[in-house]
Amino acid sequence: MASLFNSTSPQSNGQYANVNALKMYYEVHGNGFPLVLIHGGGSTIGTTFGRILPVLSKTHKVIAVEMQAHGHTADIDRPLSFEQDADDIAGLLKQLRISKADIFGFSNGASTTLQFAIRHSQLVNKIVVASTFYKKDGAQPWFWDMIKNATFEGMPQVYKDAFLEINPDTNALQRMYERDITRMRSFKEIKEEDIRAITAPALMICGDNDVVQPEHTVEIYRQMQHAKLAIFPAGHGDFIGEAGTLKPGQHEFPALQVIEAFLNEVTTK
Cα(149)–Cα(151) distance, integer angstroms:
7
Q: Is residue 84 part of a domain?
A: yes
Q: Is residue 123 part of a domain?
A: yes
Q: Is residue 58 part of a domain?
A: yes
Which domain does 102 fall in, by range?
A: 15-264
pLDDT given at position 27: 97
Q: Residues of the chain whose pLDDT is less than 70? A: 1-12, 267-269
Q: Is residue 164 part of a domain?
A: yes
Q: Is residue 67 part of a domain?
A: yes
- Evaluate whether 64 touches 30 at the Cβ level (below 8 Å): no
Structural domain count, the chain = 1
Q: Is residue 41 part of a domain?
A: yes
Question: Could you tell me the CATH number of the domain that includes residue 229?
Answer: 3.40.50.1820
Cα(124)–Cα(169) distance, integer angstroms:
36
Cα(106)–Cα(242) distance, integer angstroms:
9
Q: Is residue 4 part of a domain?
A: no
The secondary structure of residue 204, as a DSSP letter, is: E
Cα(263)–Cα(56) distance, integer angstroms:
10
Which tens digit of pLDDT belongs to each residue from 163-196? 999 999 999 999 999 999 999 999 999 999 999 9
pLDDT given at position 252: 87
pLDDT given at position 10: 40
Which tens digit of pLDDT belongs to each residue from 85-124? 999 999 999 999 999 999 999 999 999 999 999 999 999 9
pLDDT given at position 154: 95
Residues 6+ apart with CB under 8 A from 104: 35, 36, 37, 38, 113, 127, 128, 130, 259
Q: Is residue 2 part of a domain?
A: no
Helix axes 170-185, 157-166, angle to 10 degrees: 130
β-strand partners of 34: 61
pLDDT given at position 251: 87
pLDDT given at position 266: 75
pLDDT given at position 250: 85
